[in-house]
Structure 1
Amino acid sequence: MENPAEYEYRDFKWREELIDGVTVAMAPGPSVGHSRISQNISRMFGNYLRGKKCEAFIDGVDLHLTEKDCFQPDCMIVCDPDKVRGDGVHGAADLVVEVLSPSTAGRDRGYKRQVYEQCGVREYWLVSPGDRSIEIYLLKEGKFELENVYALYRDFELNKLTPAQRAAIPMSFKCSLFDDLDIHIEDVFERVE
């Protein structure tokens, strides 16, 4: 009789991305914090978009961008239903979120950012679980520009600030796609240590 652990490992399907024509195996699963951030963002957008034209997709859905690039962002928003097919999204999403991890941060900040920019992604978020920060890039005249960096401060960090400095810290921001959606920073990092 086969060892059940060997059987499970042999049948496990590794997740893959196509990056510059090279198939790259993704880690079998994200950390709990990474997963919570992805779920929090997807839930927030999913609730807001219910009954609207745009749709939120969570980690695991292929984003086909070029013949050499097929990524699986942690979350994406697609407002053109014609781009959504059975095997994923074909063409630029309107918003892409990548949650950084040590093994992917370089690609997310470098090559993937360039491809998202060249393909016309309108808004790009880089979310850092360790820093509890969100970098927002907006596409302007074909180039990503850093719009802002938002962070959720820890108590010991807040204690070092004056009351005026604490009052100046933004607690929420707006997504460029939806002017009536407030993104609360603490909601993005809910239950993330």
Structure 2
Amino acid sequence: MENLAYAEPPVTELIEGKVYLMSPRPKMGHNFTASNIFNSFRNYLKGKPCKAIADGSDVFLDNKNRYVPDVMIVCDRSKIQRDGVHGAPDLVVEVLSPSTMTNDRGAKMRNYAAAGVKEYWLVLPVGKTVEVYLNHDGRFELEATYTEYDAWELEHMEDDERAAVCTEIPVSIYEGFRVPLVDVFDDIDDFT
């Protein structure tokens, strides 16, 4: 029999006024990917005004939308309160899971853009891909897709294809802020 004294309350999100139970605990590949991104953000932002925030913190966009992103960056520290972030973060990262993908690509993406999130990352650990969207007049437009290729794939590309491969993701909130793809997907191969 389960000891309910140790049971955690369910994690929920409020999406356009409807409560959604978060998916079961994410797989390790999801956790490692989110942790890798958070660590890259945190290391770069040390001593700067913006703050990297890891999974588990609520974002209160408005009275109908409360989300729990995997990673975020908030530059206006007055938005950070004891119970979460009140208002739009500057950057939001969602590591996609099959059970949350529809909302991450749909309603949440729309609402983040409308609220003023400047940059939105959708990360797919299985394909080692990061889609980066930038906000243009209240809606996100795909800026670029970044994929980490293994040695075999790189070896079998044409020279011009290999030359076009981007190995770092530029982060729009700081000039020169770049996250290496190899860091994003470090040590996830056995867990995806």
CA distance in 1, matches of 2:173, 2:78: 18
Residue in 2 aligned with 1:121? 117
% identical equivalent positions: 43
Shift of 1:9: 8.0
Distance 2:6 2:15 in 1: 25
The one-letter code sitting in structure 1 at the alignment partner of 2:36 is N
Q: How far is 1:147 from its partner?
A: 0.5
Shift of 1:66: 1.2
With normalisation by structure 2, the TM-score equals 0.93
Bigger relative CO (Cα 8 Å, ≥ 6 apart): 2
Match of 1:147 in 2: 143
The residue number in structure 2 matching 1:32 is 28
Q: Does 1:175 align with 2:185?
A: no
Task: Give the structure 1 partner of residue 87 of structure 2.
Answer: 91
Q: Which runs of 5+ in 2 are unaligned?
A: none
- Choose 1 or 2 for highest CA Rg: 1
Per the alignment, residue 158 of structure 2 pairs with 162
Runs of 4+ in 1 over 2 A off after TM superposition: 8-12, 154-160
State the alpha-carbon separation in 2 of the partners of residues 166 and 11 from structure 1: 50
Is 1:19 aligned with 2:15? yes
* Counterpart AA for 1:118: A
The residue type paired with residue 164 of structure 1 is D
Shift of 1:8: 4.3
Give the residue type in structure 2 aligned to 1:38.
A
Distance 1:8 1:31 in 2: 23
TM-fit CA distance, 1:153: 1.3
The aligned length equals 189
How far has the Cα of 1:159 moved from its partner? Answer: 3.5
Per-residue Cα deviation, 1:155-182 (whole angstroms, up to 9, x for no partner): 3432331233212211113101011212
